[in-house]
Structure 1
Amino acid sequence: MRSFVFFVLACSLFIAGSASAKEPEGGLTPSQVQALLDAVKMDAATRTAINAVTNNDPRDLALNREKAAVRDDIFSFSLPTKGMTDQEKSGRCWMFAGLNLLRHDVIKRYKLDDFELSQSYIAFWDHVEKCNTFLEFIIDTRQRDILDREVDHMLDEPVSDGGYWGYVVNLVEKYGVVPKKFMQETKSSASTSRMDYILNTMLRRDAAVLRDMAAKGKAVADLRSEKMRMMADITRVLVINYGEPPTRFEWRVKSDSGTVSEAKIYTPQEFYHQVVGITLSDYVSLASYPIHPFDKNYSINLTRSMADKPDISFVNVDVKQLKALTLKALLDSNRIWFGCDMGHDVNSKLGLMMKGLYDYEALFGVPLTMTKQQRLDYRHSSSNHSMVFTGVDMADGKPARWQVENSWGKDAGDDGFFTMTDEWFDEYVLNAILPKKYLPDHLLAVLQQSPTPLPVWDPSWQSLRW
C-alpha cells in the first residue's frame, strides 16, 4: 500500500512539473513561414539566378572575371625553384612545405636538376609518434570521465595526417630524412583515408582496453607495457601501408653539369646533418590572430605530436609586423613556410589567391562580409593549409603580389605556383616560420616568456591538423 502511495505521489509531481514547465519558444509559425516565402521577390533577376545556380556550380558563377583577368605572375624577386611536389589525396601539406624548404638547399649545393626528400618516410614516423602520444594521453587521463571535454576531443580523431611546423622540426631532428627514391609514395601514403580509418579503429579499441585495465586497478607500468604491445600492432599496419623505413642507404648524385659524386653510405640522421645541413631549431613560429593580444607567447594544449615534446607554441603579432618580417627574410633569400586559410577567394586552376575573387553577395543578393576577427571567433576561418613563399613583386617599395610554392602538383596554378595578392595576405595568412635572427629585440624577449596556454578548442588551433 505504501509503495502504491509513493508511486501515485511521484506521478502527480511529474505531471505537475510537466504542466508548469515553460514551452520552448522561437519556433517558426505557419504565418511566419509564409512571410519568409513571400519575401523572396520572383523578379527577373531572381529567376535568372535560380536558372543559373540550379544548373551550374555557384563557385563558377561567382568568379569575378574582371579581377581574375588582371592576374600577373611576374615577380621582381624570385628564388629559383626546381620541380613541384604533390601531396595528392592526403593532409600532409605541412610536411611537404617543410621538406620543400629543405630540399632546395640540397639542389643548390649539389647543382641538381631536381631533388625530393621522402615525404612517406616522415609520414611513417609521424603516424608512429601520434599513435603513441594518443595512447599516452589515454593512460594519463584514465580516471577522467569518458565525456570529459579533452578526452572527447582526442577520441574524436585519435590520429590524422595534419600537423604544423613544430612537427616537422621534431620528426626531422629525431628521425632524419632520406631521398625520396629510398622510400617512395604508396597507394596509402597518397590517399590516407582508409589507412587512417584502420588506425583510428585500433586506437579507439586500445583506449577502451587501457581504460578498462585502469578501472580494474592495474598500475601505470602495466598500462605502458600493454601500450607497447599495441604499438607493435600499429607499427605492423604502418609498415604494410608504407613499406619498411630505411635505416641506411648509399647515395650519390649527378649534377646538372654531368659530374657524378662519390657514393657514400648514410643513416637518415647523418643525411640530415651532413647533406641537408639546416638547423631547424633556429626557426621560430609567428602568428597573427587578432582574437588574442599581440606581442605575447602562446601555446595550445594537447597539440604535441610526440609524447615527450612540448605543445605547439607561437608568438602572436600584428599582421603588418608578420608581413614586414616575412618580407625581410624572403628578400634575404630565405624560403618561408607559412600557414593560411585556403577556404576563401582561391582558384586552384588559375593559381590565384585574391581578395574579392568570388562575389557571392552579388549572385545571391545577401550580405556575407565579416571581419578577420569575426571569421576566427565564429569558426569561419582557420589556418588549414601550408605552403612556401618563394618570391614577391614589389611596387613603390611595397609588396603587391607574393609567389607561392604549393604542393598540389604541376597541374594546379602556374606549373604548381600560386600568386597571392597583398590584400589576401592581410586577410588570410595566419602563420609564418622565420629564422630567429630576423626578429626584433622585443619579440626575442617575448619568445623567452613562458607561453600562455590556450585550450585545444581555441580557434587558433581549429583545423590546424592539416
Structure 2
Amino acid sequence: MSKEITANLVKNFSKKVQELPQSQVIKDTIMKNGIKASTENNASVVAMNHVFSHEIDTGKVSNQKQSGRCWMFAALNTFNHKLNREFKLKDFELSQNYTNFWDKFEKANYFLENIIATADEPLDSRLVSWFLQTPQQDGGQWDMLVSLIDKYGVVPKQVMPETFHSSNSRDLNSILNLKLREDAMKLRKLHQEGKSDEALQPVKEEMLEEVYTMLVYALGEPPKTFDFEYRDEDNVFHREQGITPIEFYNKYVGLDLHDYVSIINAPTADKPYGKTYTVQYLGNVVGGKPVKYLNVDMDTLKGLAIQQIKDNQTVWFGCDVSQASNRESGIMDTAIYDYEKAFGFPIHLSKADRLDYKDGMLTHAMVLTGVNLVDGKPNRWKVENSWGDKVGNKGYFVMSDDWMNEYTYQVVVHKKYLSDELRQAWDQEPIVLKPWDPMGSLAIMK
C-alpha cells in the first residue's frame, strides 16, 4: 500500500460517498446550515428542562464580555450571592475590574521573577519558550483568586467599574505581552553580562512601574479606601466611610477562602485518585497560595458539590465548555449533537484520552446553582454563566449529568464536606506536574 494519497485512492473514497443514498441531503444541509445546526438532537433540547429539585436563588447574571475573566467572575459571583442574600441587596456586584487590575500586575511580576530564575536556561528550552509564549493573560484558577483576595481584598463594582479594556482585553494583553517579552530580553542580557539576581531587582521594579502605569491608564487606579453606600430591599439606607478593600472583604464577604479546596477529576494513568497535585510555575502572586488539587472519581466529586448546594451555597467549577454545548440555548449535553448519524461513524475519545491527546482541558469556569435529583441521583445541573442574559435562560445554562461526567474537571467546596479519608488525602504533599500538563490549563473562555 502506498504511503501517499493517490488519485485512485481519492477516486475510491469519492465513489463510496456518492453511493450512500443520504449523502446529497446531508451534504446540502451541512453546507447550508453548518455541522452543529444540522446535527442538533431535539430530544436533548426537550430533556434539558430548566427546572431543578434543588435550586439556589442567585438573581441576574454578570457579563465578562470580550475578556477571559470567567474564573474571576465565577468566584466573585459566589461572593455576590452571599452579599445579596445577607444584606438584602438586589443584583449587587463586586468589581471584577479591581481584581483584574491586581491580577495583571501580579502576573507581570510573576513572569519577570520566573525569567530571572531561569536565566541560565537556553532561550530555546521548552521551559523558557513556554514562559515567553504567553507572559500574562486573562485566565486563572481558584487558588490564584485566593491569593489576590488575601492580598488586595475586594471592592463594589460602583467603586471601580468596568472600562473599555477590562471588557475588551485583547489589545491590552497584546501590548502588555510585548512589553514583558522586551523586559525578559533585557533581564536575560543583563544576567549574561554578569549581573546578579539581586542587582536585577531594581531593574525589575522599574519595569513594574511602567506596567503599573499602563494598567492605570487602561483600567483605572484601584482605590485604597472608599465609601460604601447602599439602600437595601427594605428601603433602608446604609453608609460606611473610609473602608479599605481588605476590611470590606472581611466584614461583608467574610469567607475564609483557605477553608475551600479544589477537587478534580483527571482519570489519566499518571494521576491516581486519592493523591494531591500541584503544577510547576502555575500562579500569579509571588509568595501567594500554591495551586493544589485532590484527584477523585466523578461520583465523589459530584457528591461533594451536591452537599454544598443543599446547604444553599453555590459551587465554583471548571469545565471544557466548548465541547457538546449550545451557547445560544444554554444546553450542555453529550447528546446535543448527533455526529455519528450524520457522518456514519463515531467520533469520540474517553475523558482520559481527551486529556492525554490534547483534546480536553479546563477552558471555562462557572457556578453550579442547582441540581435535579431523581431518587437521590443527579440527572441535570443548573449553571450560572458570565456571558450576560442574552444566552441560555436569561444567562443560566442547563447541564446534563452525562456532560458533567465527561467535561467537568474541577469543583471548589468547603473542606467540611470531606470525609475523614478525603481529609487525609488532602493533607498529603502534592505531586508536582509539569507546567504544560492539562491540569495546568487556565479558565479563559470568552
Residues 1:327 and 2:306 are matched in the alignment: yes
Instruction: Find 1:78's aligned residue among 47, 55, 66.
Output: 55
What does residue 120 of structure 1 align with? 97
1:209-224 aligned at under 5 Å gives the runs: 209-224=186-201
How far is the alpha carbon of 1:69 from its aligned partner? 2.2
What does residue 359 of structure 2 align with? 380
How far is the alpha carbon of 1:463 from its aligned partner? 4.8
The CA RMSD over aligned residues, in Å, is 1.5
Worse overlay, 392-401 or 444-453: 392-401
Local SS of the residue matching 2:18: coil
Worse overlay, 296-305 or 260-269: 260-269
Residues 1:274 and 2:251 are matched in the alignment: yes
Distance in structure 2 (CA, Å) of the matches to 1:114 and 1:34: 62
Give a deviation string over 1:108-163, Cα, whole Å, max 9, x none: 12111220000000000000000100000110011110111111111111110000
Structure 2 residue identity aligned to 1:315: L
Distance in structure 2 (CA, Å) of the matches to 1:35 and 1:63: 30
**TM-score scaled by length of structure 2:** 0.96
Distance in structure 1 (CA, Å) of the matches to 2:135 and 2:290: 16
Instruction: Find 2:170's aligned residue among 193, 216, 226.
Output: 193
Give a deviation string over 1:345-401, Cα, whole Å, max 9, x none: 211211111121111122222320221111111111111111111111221122222
What does residue 408 of structure 2 align with? 429
CA spacing shift, 1:219–1:258, aligned 2, 3 Å? same
1:41-440 aligned at under 5 Å gives the runs: 41-291=18-268, 292-309=271-288, 311-440=290-419
Instruction: Find 2:430's aligned residue among 451, 455, 459.
Output: 451
Structure 2 residue identity aligned to 1:363: A
Distance in structure 2 (CA, Å) of the matches to 1:436 and 1:281: 9
Local SS of the residue matching 2:393: coil
Q: Do the aligned partners of 1:83 and 1:115 also contact (CA within 8 Å) in 2?
A: no
Structure 2 residue identity aligned to 1:68: V
Local SS of the residue matching 2:438: coil
Distance in structure 2 (CA, Å) of the matches to 1:235 and 1:177: 19
Structure 1 residue identity aligned to 2:155: V
Give a deviation string over 1:204-237, Cα, whole Å, max 9, x none: 1111111111111111122111111111111111
Local SS of the residue matching 1:181: coil
How far is the alpha carbon of 1:464 from its aligned partner? 4.4
What does residue 11 of structure 1 align with? none
Structure 2 residue identity aligned to 1:258: N
Structure 2 residue identity aligned to 1:56: N
**TM-score scaled by length of structure 1:** 0.92
Greater Rg, structure 1 or structure 2?
Answer: 1
Q: Do the aligned partners of 1:163 and 1:465 also contact (CA within 8 Å) in 2?
A: yes
Worse overlay, 96-105 or 54-63: 54-63
Distance in structure 2 (CA, Å) of the matches to 1:454 and 1:263: 45
Alignment length, in residue pairs?
Answer: 442
Distance in structure 2 (CA, Å) of the matches to 1:346 and 1:53: 18
CA spacing shift, 1:425–1:443, aligned 2, 3 Å? same
Local SS of the residue matching 2:83: helix
Distance in structure 1 (CA, Å) of the matches to 2:23 and 2:10: 19
Distance in structure 2 (CA, Å) of the matches to 1:463 and 1:79: 27
How far is the alpha carbon of 1:96 from its aligned partner? 0.3
How far is the alpha carbon of 1:465 from its aligned partner? 5.3
Worse overlay, 233-242 or 342-351: 342-351
Distance in structure 1 (CA, Å) of the matches to 2:14 and 2:442: 36
Structure 1 residue identity aligned to 2:281: L
Higher relative contact order (CA 8 A, sep 6+): 2
Distance in structure 2 (CA, Å) of the matches to 1:158 and 1:207: 9
How far is the alpha carbon of 1:30 from its aligned partner? 4.1
Q: Do the aligned partners of 2:62 and 2:73 also contact (CA within 8 Å) in 1?
A: yes
How far is the alpha carbon of 1:64 from its aligned partner? 0.5
**Long gaps (5+) in structure 1:** 1-24
Same amino acid, percent of matched pairs: 37
Distance in structure 1 (CA, Å) of the matches to 2:397 and 2:116: 44
How far is the alpha carbon of 1:27 from its aligned partner? 3.2
**Long gaps (5+) in structure 2:** none
Give a deviation string over 1:93-113, Cα, whole Å, max 9, x none: 000000001111111121112
Worse overlay, 425-434 or 396-405: 396-405
